[in-house]
Amino acid sequence: MITLYPKKEFKFPIIADCINPDVFQNKKPEEIARLSIWEGNKQKKLADLFNIEEAKTENPSGNEVIIIKGDAGKVRRIGACMKGGEIAIYGNVGMHLGEEMKDGKITVHGNASGWAGSMMKGGTIEIHGNAGDYLGAPYRGCREGMHGGKIVVYGNV
């Protein structure tokens, strides 16, 4: 299990599609720290923007678990194309959460910005707050949006 803590309040959008259980699977914290993300137009390492902690807990399912604690409201594409594992976010999360997700589970204990679950094919997203516009929607020009999986919102949509 890996826990990420934002080091600061982000002023620019962060493109972080590497925050994904499939990417973290079988990687050491040092390798995870070197993964590339974008802050605005600057490429950075994950460790430049997040503190990374590894918990030595047994996970009987064998699935990778990622926990994000803190405001990730500007962090986009978390869990994009996810094929398994779990992500738990304790705070708000940015756009394109779980986009094109195929399996696994994402739980948000806060609000999710627009396009959460867009083009989703499987898995589950639970939002214990409000969801932004275009929840599960197709992208402009696509005929079909979400066609599998489940999105549950406990707040407003």
Q: How is the chain split into domains, by residue range?
A: 2-56+63-153
Give the pLDDT confidence score for residue 36 in this predicted structure.
98
Give the pLDDT confidence score for residue 57 in this predicted structure.
72
Low-confidence ranges of the chain (pLDDT < 70): 58-61
Q: Which pLDDT tens digit goes with each residue over 112-135?
A: 999 999 999 999 999 999 999 999
Give the pLDDT confidence score for residue 35 in this predicted structure.
98
What distance in Å separates the CA atoms of residue 84 and residue 20, rounded to the nearest whole number? 9
Give the pLDDT confidence score for residue 27 in this predicted structure.
94
Burial 45-70, CB ≥16 within 10 A → b, else e: ebbebbebeeeeeeeeeeebbbbbbb
Give the pLDDT confidence score for residue 56 in this predicted structure.
75
Q: Is 86 helix (H, G, I), strand (E, B) or coil?
A: strand
In the block, residue with structure tokens 């499987």: 122
pTM over 0.85: yes
Residue 146 CB neighbour total at 10 angstroms:
22
What distance in Å separates the CA atoms of residue 131 and residue 125, rounded to the nearest whole number? 11
